[in-house]
């Protein structure tokens, strides 16, 4: 059984037991969160596709940690004008584990 969920503006294909990092969720560590933006559910070859979400479907996830991602450097440079600009960014991430998929 697997599902396609949407969180943080991105879509993820998940199955029970999967561990992944998504954009920050407002939840404490070691708590269970219910994600209701389920776009697709597949169970034993039977596929349910939502329009835009599957009615009554939800995915239960456990929050494992809250952390910052790898630093991304943005550098702009124009030759002969003395223009250069350097900025850095670290995205806030939440590591989650899929506990159950309910359709």
The domain spans of the chain are: 2-102
Query: What is the side-by-side order of every strand in the sheet holding 58-68?
Result: 19-23, 92-102, 58-68, 32-35
Residue with tokens 């969720």: 25
Token pair 């990092």: residue = 21
Asked if pLDDT for residue 103 goes beyond 90, the answer is: no
Q: What is the pLDDT of residues 53-94, one digit of tens each?
A: 999 999 999 999 999 999 999 999 999 999 999 999 999 999
Query: What's the first-to-final CA gap in the chain, in angstroms?
Result: 10
Residue 102 · residue 35 · CB < 8 Å: no
Characterize the bridge pairing of strands 19-23 and 10-15: unpaired
* Tens digit of each residue's pLDDT (9 = 90 or more) over 13-37: 999 999 999 999 999 999 999 999 9
């Amino acid at each position: 059984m697997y599902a396609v969920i949407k969180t943080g503006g991105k879509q993820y294909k998940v199955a029970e037991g999967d561990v992944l990092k998504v954009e920050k969720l407002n939840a404490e560590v070691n708590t269970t969160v219910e994600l209701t933006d389920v776009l697709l559910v597949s169970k034993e070859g039977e596929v349910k596709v939502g329009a835009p979400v599957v009615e009554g479907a939800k995915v239960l996830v456990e929050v494992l940690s809250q952390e910052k991602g790898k630093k991304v450097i943005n550098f702009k440079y124009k030759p002969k004008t003395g223009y250069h600009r350097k900025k850095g960014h670290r995205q806030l991430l939440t590591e989650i584990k899929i506990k159950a998929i309910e359709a």
